[in-house]
Amino acid sequence: MARISFLLGLTACLLNLLTPTFAVEIWDIFTVDRTKDTDGACKARMTVLDQWLSEGSYSLDVALNAIDNYLTEPAVRDAMTTFFGVQQTEEGRKPSTIEPIRKKIQWVHYFFNQERNPKKKNELWFKANEYYLFCDSDFLARRDKTDSALDFQTKVIVDKDNNEISIDKVPGYATALRKEAKAVPWWAGASGLNGYFFTESGGDYCDTAGNFGLTAKIELFKQGANGKAQKDRIARSVIICPNAFDQNQPDSYKEANELLATGTNLADAVPKSATLVHELFHAIHGGDFSTGKAEEYDLGACIKLAEQQVQNSRKNIENYIFFIAHMYHLYGEADGEEPWSIKKNWNFQIEYISNSKDFIYGATEDGDAMDVDE
């Protein structure tokens, strides 16, 4: 998981797809093309994405409730030390470092549940026309920086003498190209978003094994007076790669929970829906979290961050993902055959491999695991 760092000049011709009187669906919270399966559209993925939405929402609920029970639940205290380096204090007092961590999760929860701001006439905290969802990076077409530049109306940009201008000569585009040493222009017109991504990888990003998703900042433009481009607003683009749907992880929390046995590593019990949660942390919190090479994804590396670089662990999204998964397996509930149903609750703890400094974060019964009533 990673994210593209810059995008310039996208059109603001979007539809408001919100339907607040019904249960939240994936198209309620994102602008997403459901009509085809090319050019980043998601027709064949909609059922899975709706499952991911439900799982993500429930898992965030459970994590927030667990944090709220910090003082009465030793397992929560231990997990927050493991993943965020929270130093436990004397009994009856919650460490002040917990609330900023909780708020990071809470904002993602607002998004998943399409919640409203009571201080602003109950307006939605997050609007679907400010968040795009794509199911591949194939809508991006590589261009050479010396190609003729297009504007947000797909018109060739010209100078005062009516001569065509290349992409690298447009001031805003030139600035974007300088932000990354290997950046090239990627035109997003196939998706209807008429603008450029300026980055090293674009349309080929999802072709690389192990790339599951990315998030990009979008500057939306609209036509102003005399046809001139006028900034409209900032939005976010979330791309979920085919690799994320096909990765070797459980398809659901139910499947993940059924795989658990004493000693099973937590890393093997994180469902595919965590990719969507991960990218939403990027989309909502932007630069508050580490990106690119600064991100850690391996469970062991995340735990070591909390031990050795506490502040970095609280800026590393996968630390939150592992914490959320731990809390869900520990406190989730049975719900028939639903994909998020937990049949048995498990705790996890560090288990060192004999004669080695290596360890796993293994499932344990040790009196903490309990069967959920059917």
What average pLDDT score do residues 350-364 get?
A: 82
The domain segmentation of the chain, as residue ranges, is: 1-247+269-334
Predicted TM-score of the model (pTM): 0.88
Consecutive H or E run containing 360: strand 359-364
Length of the chain equals 374
Q: Is the pLDDT of residue 24 over 80?
A: yes
**pLDDT-based confidence at residue 353 (cuts at 50, 70, 90):** confident
For residue 362, what pLDDT is reported? 95
Answer left, alpha or beta for residue 9, where phi above 0 means left and psi between -120 and 50 means alpha: left
324-338: per-residue pLDDT in tens? 999 999 999 998 899
Residue 267 binned pLDDT confidence (cut-offs 50, 70, 90): very high
* pLDDT confidence bin for 5, thresholds 50/70/90: very low
pLDDT digits over 98-109, tens only? 999 999 999 999
d(CA 363, CA 345): 10
256-262-267 Cα angle (round to 5): 45
Cβ atoms 198, 7 nearer than 8 A:
yes
What whole-number distance in Å separates Cα of residue 266 and Cα of residue 373?
Answer: 23
* Rounded distance between C-alpha atoms, residue 57 and residue 339, angstroms: 13
275 vs 251: CA distance, rounded Å? 12
Helix (H/G/I), strand (E/B), else coil: 330: helix
Helix-helix angle 74-84:299-308, to 10 degrees: 90
| Chain segment 297-324, per-residue pLDDT in tens | 999 999 999 999 999 999 999 999 999 9
Looking at CATH, the fold of the domain delimited by 1-247+269-334 is given as Collagenase (Catalytic Domain) (3.40.390)
| pLDDT at position 7 over 70 | no
List, for residues 214-241, the tens digit of each pLDDT value.
998 877 777 777 767 777 777 889 999 9
What mean pLDDT is reported for the chain? 86
What's the pLDDT tens digit per position in 163-189?
Answer: 999 999 988 889 889 888 889 999 998
pLDDT-based confidence at residue 8 (cuts at 50, 70, 90) = very low
Contact 241, 176 (CB under 8 A): no
Q: CA-to-CA distance for 319 and 83, rounded, in angstroms?
A: 6
Q: What is the mean pLDDT of residues 37-53?
A: 96
pLDDT > 70? residue 1: no
Asked if residue 4 lies in contact with residue 179, where contact means CB atoms within 8 angstroms, the answer is no
